[in-house]
Structure 1
Amino acid sequence: MTETIAKIKSLSEAYFSDIQAIRHHLHSHPELSFQEFETADFIEAELRKMGITDFERKAETGITFMLKGREDNGKVVAMRADIDALPIIEANEVSYKSQNEGVMHACGHDVHTSSLLGAVRILKELKDHYSGTVKVIFQPGEEKLPGGASVLIKEGILENPKPDRILGQHVMPLIPAGKVGFRKGMYMASADEIYFTVTGKGGHAAMPENTVDPVLITSHIIVALQQIISRNCSPKIPSVLSFGRVEALGATNVIPNEVKVEGTFRTYDEEWRAEAHVRMKRMAEGIAESMGAQCDFQVMKGYPHLKNHPEYTQANIEAAKAYMGDENVEEIDLWLAGEDFAFYSHHVDACFYRLGTRNEAKGITSGVHTPTFDIDESALKTGMGLFAWLTIAELNA
């Protein structure tokens, strides 16, 4: 074990400049979800440089292939990285700034992809240090429903062979570079989109008696929907219902005909999730009807909650401590963001952990999904090295 760790760390140092250059290229050429054609071509070109040619396309821009160890012990571990970017205008002034206007790797998927390419290079170099099979997955469309993971699963990514385990990592700007974070069990929330339109009867604001005011009715609905969380959900189940867009195109003296609302619902229990969808629709439509209006209430079902397999995650925690030292492995809290890696976690024992990227001394502190997000690139050494080591450790367990 000690010898393998030493070799991985040495290779991570040796490959760092190459992986950094890959990350810069990806960051400069971001592509939106399910449009990652140049990104996929670039990944394939990098694989060919490693002598890997037996890759397969899935969902048009997804890529998968196998790596074999010294012998077949029947074990299969999958490694996944997402490859898409976000519709954000980059504000960073760096040499690798996005060249695609309005598109940016603001969630670190360029880091995930380059780290996995580095890990593949290490695993190929050290194939005599492990047994079994590695299934590598470069996945499109994490940022957009229905989620690239769900598409790949439908196309059989978890079959022939079916992985025993699946491993994923994600940048975390709250954790310093050189550290990682793990959480066993429930980790990330399901994420559904809420859209509803209240239609009434508009008119002059000075004569409300001649209207069916959709603004007032919508306000009642928004307030009332919060009791779905506070009075129908067990306090033991974290849940969030938030509305971020309310559009009422009236004026100071004009009551509009309709109001459009958009929001999100997140939780950790699939039965409660389904029940909440029904309750919210029934309540919103009932309030509107009782006040003389109509409500068209739609739930766009998103990603399920993400659950980290307790035993597998604990094994990875111990392996990470062996690789990085106890002081560099943190326990992290629940996070109510959504992530389509969750789909895998409902089919295969999964572990999704956080890669620290923060460096306050360098001013690298911006959160993901912001125009100024960036990383301390020393995290790439941890990203590729730990990814490779956790896979080897599981295959040899």
Structure 2
Amino acid sequence: MKTIDKIKQLAKTYSEEFIGIRRYLHQHPELSFKEYETCTYVRQQLIEIGIVDIKSVADTGLLATINGLCEGKTILLRADMDALPIREENTVEYVSQNIGVMHACGHDVHMTSLLLTAKILFQLRHEFSGTVKLLFQPGEELMPGGATLVMKEADYKSMGSVPHLGQHVIPKLPVGKVGFRSGLFMASMDEIYITIIGKGGHAAVPEECIDPILIASHVIVAAQQVVSRMASPKTPSVLSFGRIIGDGANNVIPDKVIIEGTFRTYDEEWRTEAIDKLTKMVKSIAEGMGAECIVDIPRGYPHLKNDPELTNAMKKGALDYLGSDNVVDLDLWMAAEDFAYYTLKNPACFYLLGVGNTEKGITSGLHTPTFNIDESSLETGGGLMAWLALESLV
């Protein structure tokens, strides 16, 4: 039997078992850099597979190794582990038991898929040459990103520059399909924190106040000029504000307003320039209207660029494994990922795994309280990554 057929058979055979593993992980989510029980559970699963070379990285992460029949190339396969501070609204039997915390970004799927990949590759270890590294990474959702901590670890650095593969679930793509994009793929991400300090008072005497609510409204509208009038139309950019805190009342003007948002783009030079322009504009508007303004924009994740040679090879491998009807070309995605840090130092490929199913009503987006997946995607995700890993080692 050909290796590709063995992988498909093993993925199918173990799929039901790994649905149970995914449900356990979904029921027991943990926030970024607090994945202690998750780490213990994943370690136990690796041990039960038969993998004994398991190192701790970044406190709550793991780096495991599967050696083939003889020495050869090395590839790293990565899954993230953390959940989000979201209260789940699904009514499934495996709903989160940690109220207010949910695997709403599919990291439970990423871990389970990589565990299935590990089981397949461990059983086939006498049929390939080289080394497969399995990275279960904490803290993807929270700056500075678990990737930055992993990359400082001696066990990681000792590998040198090796190909990295990562996958991410996407509900907009039907189950059974995967998507690839060579070159620029995901955006950089910077967090924006603006505090406007005015002078509060009674809403009936605004002349005695410096109204931070009004000033905030001017700031939010004007700031969009950074994207609409200052950015080149050839450079994708997004500026969004998602949180405004003005703790007043219908007849109370507050002393201050806090605005939080994000800026994303694909050009590092423009990224720096845009942040500088935004900072100056916001301060100028606020101070011109009599308020004090504090702007804090901590540097976030870089943009993610897939290595063209590796990505094209992985896409070809996916075509062989899934067929042309199930492999699609992706557009730019303005989401951000700390996997991008790995792409700065290594040839890397980050691709998307379809988990949606409109017939089953599985359509909710990432980071929503009703996010869910078609669990047959685990068979696709685990099997495909095993095949792609072996293809990269040839």
What TM-score do you get using the length of structure 2 for normalisation?
0.96
Q: Deviations over 1:203-228 (max 9, x none)?
A: 33343333322222222222221112
Q: Is residue 81–residue 138 contact of structure 1 (8 Å, CA) maintained in 2? A: yes
Q: Deviations over 1:231-267 (max 9, x none)?
A: 3222111111111222223333333222111111111
**Aligned-partner residue type, residue 163 of structure 2:** R
Which residue, 245, 254, 274 being the options, matches 1:247?
245
Distance 1:208 1:20 in 2: 60
Q: Is residue 362–residue 372 contact of structure 2 (8 Å, CA) maintained in 1? A: yes
Distance 1:186 1:84 in 2: 25
**Aligned-partner residue type, residue 44 of structure 2:** A
Q: Is residue 76–residue 163 contact of structure 1 (8 Å, CA) maintained in 2? A: no
Q: Deviations over 1:313-334 (max 9, x none)?
A: 1111111000110110011111
Give the aligned partner of residue 97 of structure 1.
95
**Aligned-partner residue type, residue 44 of structure 1:** R
Aligned residues: 394
Helix, strand or coil for the counterpart of 1:170?
strand
Q: Which runs of 5+ in 1 are unaligned?
A: none
| Match status 1:147 vs 2:141 | no
Map 1:99-118 onto structure 2 (within 5 A): 99-118=97-116
Distance 1:20 1:205 in 2: 57
Give the aligned partner of residue 5 of structure 1.
4
Which residue, 190, 212, 217 being the options, matches 1:219?
217
Q: Is residue 166–residue 350 contact of structure 2 (8 Å, CA) maintained in 1? A: yes
| RMSD of aligned residue pairs (Cα, Å) | 1.5
Which residue, 331, 334, 346 being the options, matches 2:332?
334
Q: Is residue 240–residue 261 contact of structure 2 (8 Å, CA) maintained in 1? A: yes
Map 1:242-321 onto structure 2 (within 5 A): 242-321=240-319
**Aligned-partner residue type, residue 60 of structure 1:** D
| Match status 1:384 vs 2:382 | yes
Which residue, 340, 343, 346 being the options, matches 2:341?
343
Q: Is residue 78–residue 163 contact of structure 1 (8 Å, CA) maintained in 2? A: no
What TM-score do you get using the length of structure 1 for normalisation?
0.95
Q: CA deviation at 1:94?
A: 2.1
Q: Is residue 50–residue 122 contact of structure 2 (8 Å, CA) maintained in 1? A: no
Give the aligned partner of residue 125 of structure 1.
123
Distance 1:96 1:175 in 2: 23
Q: CA deviation at 1:349?
A: 1.0
Give the aligned partner of residue 358 of structure 1.
356
Distance 1:204 1:46 in 2: 61
Q: CA deviation at 1:156?
A: 4.1
Q: Is residue 32–residue 142 contact of structure 2 (8 Å, CA) maintained in 1? A: yes
**Aligned-partner residue type, residue 132 of structure 1:** G
Q: Deviations over 1:333-355 (max 9, x none)?
A: 11111111111111111111111
Q: Which runs of 5+ in 2 are unaligned?
A: none
Q: Is residue 51–residue 122 contact of structure 2 (8 Å, CA) maintained in 1? A: no
Give the aligned partner of residue 233 of structure 1.
231
Distance 2:28 2:253 in 1: 46
Distance 2:232 2:152 in 1: 33
Distance 1:345 1:125 in 2: 29
Q: Is residue 175–residue 358 contact of structure 1 (8 Å, CA) maintained in 2? A: yes
Distance 2:137 2:303 in 1: 19
